[in-house]
Structure 1
Amino acid sequence: MKFIKSRNFQISTFILLLAFATLDLFYNAFSVTDKQIWTAFFYFSSDIQAKYFTLPSLTSAIEPGILEETERYLMILIFLTGFKYARKWRLPIAVYASGILFGLSHAGNVGWNGETFSATIAQVIGVMGSGFLWAVLYLYTGKLWLPMLYHFLMDYLANLQSGWNSAGWTFSGYASDYIQEILMVGVPLVFTIWMMYGKRRAVIEENVDCLLNLKDSKFINKKVSRN
């Protein structure tokens, strides 16, 4: 989508959006928990290893970064098109439905290199938060390459720490694991709800109209009614 500077566009909102997307990336890539509850909030570990700087580690992160975000872009477009005249609901439906479907698409990871069923359920729920954020990031900026970049970095940083063919998720059932899940999906959910109001929503709606080729729909409707 071609970026058109809206009078409602706020650089402070854009910076905050990037900051939250980066925080989500950092938390997903480096958070570590154990039996102690505080580790879900304050314990982070970067275990990047030279032996994982391999071509498979790179390509296995590029593939979902490009293909999965393209697929999710199509899902967003489908939901927006289906509810294009329901202006109150089309945006939240597109953002949250596409994010939920993004999470559910990871359900097939159960058993992948030893990933347990509980770990897969945790992954399905946890990545929904990133899906919400990346959908809003795209719709606010009109640039699909931004969520592609964040998706790639999240997967690549994980690959550099445990290898591209390792189990994608872990879940031990401690209280800290449940808190971590809540944070992963809850913080992005609250932030994206905040993005649904005020000038922030106005910018997104303008981009949605442009995406759906409804840019002049209000003007056309007014003109018709006057005639």
Structure 2
Amino acid sequence: MLEQRSQKILSWQFLLTAVIAGLLAIKQNMVINIIYFFVAILAYGLLKKGNKKLSQIWDIIAIPYVLIHVYTELFALLLNVSSLFYFLYFVVMLACLIPVTISDYGNIHKPLMQIISSVWIIINLFLAPQPVVHANAFIIGLNKSQLLLGLMFVIYGYFAITNWGYKFYLNLHIKNKNFAYFLVLLVTAGIILWISFINAFASSALTWSDALWNWNFAFINPAESAQIPNIWQLVFTSVNAGLMEEVARYVFVIALLASLVKKRNHSLIAIVLSSAIFSLLHVLSFSSTDFNLGEVVFKIIHAFGFGCIFGLLFLYTGKIWLIILLHSFADFISFSLTPLGYGGMLMTSVNNMVIFLAIITIVPLLFTILILMVPSAKEVIDRNIEQLLLKL
């Protein structure tokens, strides 16, 4: 019933998108908007013709990009009239991918294709244009943070996972929690916080003790951030990172576990592969002129180690909200460094940089392997995996 309703909505959405693209072609960017027009018309024709397979393939490949760009271009014009249109833009963008997700992405049955299609959605969101809005600091910060794109992926993740036949858990109920359970939970969260602070304070460190434990919290002040002067943008950017990356991890882990569940060490393989997938997606940073090759490689390596321990904590607790909170906190601390927080000399040495990357990559990976070797922790994780993969 939901799929039939979404297909009906999708057909009207294709026509509306074609009309908008046609009108935009008269106003600006004629060639690209004519292409968008024909993409939407072809999608409508395939859907009405009843060629489900071809329609699904076309929608998955082309429609998210077209919807995101056409609607953003439309609201970019409307925002020149009034900044109040930003709230309508926010709502429309949040809803625009729901029909195609339910109708097409949600009908992908092979785990590998589920992963590839989800990566494609992330790429489309990452490359999405950003409208210019002239408003107060709150709206400007919200817009520049791209929190909207993170929320769009959360909505995609929810509808994709539920239409694949699983339940989307914000807070998986854990039975028979004992002292050992809470001990592993606290130690894991503690290591995540420790790595978060190391990552934040490494740039201000003069010695290894300054980076590893002797932290100067005077360098942390979100109101005087060296990276993001707008405090609203700083907060929303931090939340966006937690939402996007951890919901993506949820999606990847579910798909990987579904294909690996009968293999030995399936939980470790799923954690490592899901972390590798998202860390490699940081290659998209090349689309920004703010990053060079060295910085992108650093982001990839750093994201892998951090991702392993986040993946472990997710499977151990089943609490995606906790993982999002910890990830957002890590980014908040890092973004809150003042200009003085970048005055350290420790990371100017290539050798020290290599050691730093080894610490934040190898320590989380080894800890993940160690916890998976603990029988009581492994039992909890196996029960959680069984629950996460339970078909509705």
Which band: TM-score by shorter chain?
A: 0.7 to 0.9
Distance 1:102 1:30 in 2: 24
- Structure number with greater CO (CA < 8 Å, separation at least 6) is 1
Q: 1:153 to 1:53 in 2, by over 3 A?
A: farther
**Match for residue 387 of structure 2 among 201, 210, 215:** 210
Report how far residue 110 of structure 1 moved.
3.4
Q: 1:138 to 1:128 in 2, by over 3 A?
A: same
RMSD value over aligned CA atoms?
Answer: 2.5
Report how far residue 119 of structure 1 moved.
1.6
Question: Which deviations, in whole Å up to 9, do the C-alpha atoms of 1:61-98 show, x marking residues without a partner?
Answer: 11121122111110000000011222x23211110001
**2:352 matched residue in structure 1:** 176
**Match for residue 276 of structure 2 among 100, 103, 110:** 100
**1:48 matched residue in structure 2:** 220
Code of the residue aligned with 1:5 in structure 2: it is K
**2:192 matched residue in structure 1:** 21
Code of the residue aligned with 1:201 in structure 2: it is K
Code of the residue aligned with 2:173 in structure 1: it is F
**1:189 matched residue in structure 2:** 365
- Residue 122 of structure 1 aligns to a residue whose secondary structure is helix
**Match for residue 158 of structure 1 among 326, 334, 355:** 334
Code of the residue aligned with 1:117 in structure 2: it is L
**2:294 matched residue in structure 1:** 118
Distance 1:36 1:176 in 2: 10
Q: Which one has the bigger helix percentage?
A: 2
Extract unaligned runs of 5+ from structure 1.
164-170, 215-227
- Residue 114 of structure 1 aligns to a residue whose secondary structure is coil
Distance 1:37 1:4 in 2: 39
**Identity of counterpart residues, as a percentage?**
23
The higher radius of gyration belongs to 2
Distance 1:174 1:38 in 2: 18
**2:132 matched residue in structure 1:** none
Distance 1:202 1:162 in 2: 44
**1:11 matched residue in structure 2:** 182
Question: Which deviations, in whole Å up to 9, do the C-alpha atoms of 1:164-188 show, x marking residues without a partner?
Answer: xxxxxxx755211010000010110
Count of residues in Structure 1 that have an aligned counterpart in Structure 2: 206
Report how far residue 41 of structure 1 moved.
4.4
Q: 1:162 to 1:101 in 2, by over 3 A?
A: farther
**2:235 matched residue in structure 1:** 58
Decide whether the 8 Å contact of 1:31 with 1:45 is kept in 2. Answer: no
Decide whether the 8 Å contact of 1:103 with 1:128 is kept in 2. Answer: yes
Decide whether the 8 Å contact of 2:285 with 2:296 is kept in 1. Answer: yes
Q: Does 1:201 align with 2:378?
A: yes
Extract unaligned runs of 5+ from structure 2.
1-168, 340-346
Q: 1:66 to 1:148 in 2, by over 3 A?
A: same
Q: 1:203 to 1:72 in 2, by over 3 A?
A: same
**1:74 matched residue in structure 2:** 251
